Amino acid sequence: MMIPGLTVYYDGSCPLCRREIALYRRSQGADRILWLDVSAGLPLGEGLSCEDAMRRFHVRDEQNRLLCAGAAFARLWLALPGWRVLGWVFVWPPMSWVLELAYRAFLPLRPRLQRAALRWWPEQENRA
């Protein structure tokens, strides 16, 4: 059995999240990542509750460090060769701060965007 270098926790009940994760999963290197749908109710490991994982994007790295929000995206991008440059840009301050601020600005908009996504895309497209 493969031991992943990175675990990505995503909200499979969110149409936006499903589409974004589907994009990443088609990327080169995605087969080395463990993708966990937190809406499935599976155990998530030490330090991460389902409630927290549903609220914000999280990844667990090779050293078992739990990263969330902007830092989690930067770490995921570093793991995918086609996204690696973006990861390097946003892993270092001050760009990491900009990414975190952008993510925090997005969170209040997420519920409205989720409802809109259900109207924009047929449900069969929303399943990753």
Question: What digits encode the pLDDT tens for the residues 17-58?
Answer: 999 999 999 999 999 999 999 998 888 999 999 999 999 999
> How far is CA 35 from each of CA 54, 76, 114, 120, rounded to the nearest angstrom?
14, 11, 21, 25
Is the model's pLDDT at 121 over the cut of 80? no
| Domain spans, the chain | 6-126
pLDDT per position as a tens digit, 93-105 = 999 999 999 999 9
Q: What is the model's pTM?
A: 0.86
Output the six-digit token pair for 86.
């973006």
With beta carbons less than 8 A apart as the criterion, state whether 72 and 57 touch: yes
Is the model's pLDDT at 73 over the cut of 80? yes
Output the six-digit token pair for 102.
């952008």
* CA–CA dist 81, 113 (Å, integer): 29
